[in-house]
């Protein structure tokens, strides 16, 4: 199934988001900054990084904006709201909320691949209000109730 994709003016000239290997789950997202622009995230700082395109996803799908593990492992840079949610009815620019949890400033330039986008199906479930819920073995136990030791 196709996802309709439209470059915005400042995105023109960038490569399309691409899967870096044949069966990769994510399309890498490049920063659509100006040609000579450098966006620097100080330690602890966050920024909205423009991707330079808009989408029209088929209804019943979302695009998730996820971190790249290399940036997280090497620099402590990740997507603050991971996984970001791009709704099927959103027609604005896709952006990445990047945060620097590392100890060093992190510089971003035009075309740098700073995150990845994974398409996912969203089941069309509706909430139904009831008085009682079916019982289960777990019941209300959660939040570590099964312990940690192996």
Ligand X SMILES: O=c1ccn([C@H]2C[C@H](O)[C@@H](COP(=O)(O)OP(=O)(O)OP(=O)(O)O)O2)c(=O)[nH]1
Report if residue 61 touches ligand X, rule: CB under 6 A.
Answer: no
Least distance in Å: CB of 33 to ligand X?
16
Residues 119, 63 contacting (CB under 8 angstroms)? yes
Show Cβ contacts of residue 17 under 8 Å, excluding neighbours closer than 6 positions: 27, 28, 29, 30, 51, 53, 117
78 labelled ligand-binding: no
The verdict on whether residue 68 carries a ligand-binding annotation is yes
The one among 77, 86, 98, 117 contacting ligand X by CB under 6 A = 86
Q: Does 94 bind ligand X (CB under 6 A)?
A: yes
Q: How do strand 113-121 and strand 61-66 relate by DSSP bridges?
A: antiparallel
Nearest approach, Cβ of residue 97 and ligand X (Å): 5
Q: How far apart are CA 104 and CA 99, in angstroms?
A: 12
- Kindly report the length of the chain: 150
**87 labelled ligand-binding:** yes
Binder among 29, 32, 41, 65 for ligand X (CB under 6 A): 65
Residues that bind ligand X (CB under 6 A): 65, 81, 84-87, 90, 94-95, 97
């Amino acid at each position: 199934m196709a996802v309709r994709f439209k470059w915005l003016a400042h995105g023109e000239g960038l490569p399309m988001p691409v899967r870096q290997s044949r069966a990769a789950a994510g399309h890498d997202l490049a920063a659509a900054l100006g040609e000579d622009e450098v966006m620097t995230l100080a330690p602890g700082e966050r920024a909205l990084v423009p991707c330079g395109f808009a989408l029209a996803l088929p209804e019943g799908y979302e695009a998730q904006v996820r971190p790249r593990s290399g940036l997280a492992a090497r620099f402590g840079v990740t997507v603050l709201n991971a996984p970001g949610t791009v709704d099927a009815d959103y027609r604005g620019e896709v952006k990445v909320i990047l945060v620097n949890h590392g100890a060093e400033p992190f510089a971003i330039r035009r075309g740098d691949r700073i995150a990845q986008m994974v398409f996912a199906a969203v089941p069309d479930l509706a909430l139904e209000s009831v008085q009682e819920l079916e019982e289960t073995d777990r019941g209300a136990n959660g939040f570590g109730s099964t312990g940690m030791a192996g």
